[in-house]
């Protein structure tokens, strides 16, 4: 009986850890951009792209057609972007890029507006690295 309880507790802990870090799911969402790495530290997810410069166009496409599209198409797990308050999309040297100030709630908001307005709305929630 004791080993059964231990097994159940271990299973719950492992499943909780699996949903706590959404960086692997963000990596899948951004596979078309072939990120060098996707990591999560605290409430920030950092995406490193193999680019010398991350332009506003690259950033906007990565967020809207990558990260947020997973939410809009209902392909995200229930824990996707849970607890994330920043998503940084940076160049290969990690010295330049943009940071979206928000997580899933920003994706939800962007999903309610026409696609032509997304760049402007996203820019309002973005700061440079």
Global confidence as pTM: 0.81
Q: Cα separation of 75 and 89, whole Å?
A: 21
Give 59-111 pLDDT, tens digit per residue: 999 999 999 999 999 999 999 999 999 999 999 999 999 999 999 999 999 99
Q: pLDDT grade, residue 15 (50/70/90)?
A: very low
Q: Cα separation of 14 and 53, whole Å?
A: 38
Q: Cα separation of 72 and 101, whole Å?
A: 19
């Amino acid at each position: 009986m004791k080993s059964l309880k231990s097994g159940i507790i271990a299973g719950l802990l492992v499943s909780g850890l699996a949903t706590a870090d959404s960086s692997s799911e963000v990596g899948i969402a951004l596979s078309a951009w072939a990120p060098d790495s996707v990591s999560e530290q605290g409430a920030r997810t950092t995406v490193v792209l193999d680019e010398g410069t991350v332009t506003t166009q690259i950033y906007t496409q990565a967020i809207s057609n990558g990260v947020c599209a997973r939410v809009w198409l209902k392909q995200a797990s229930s824990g996707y972007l849970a607890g994330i308050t920043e998503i940084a999309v940076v160049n290969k040297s990690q010295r330049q890029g943009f940071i979206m100030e928000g997580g899933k709630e920003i994706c939800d908001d962007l999903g309610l507006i026409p696609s032509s307005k997304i760049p402007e709305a996203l820019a309002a929630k973005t700061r440079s690295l």
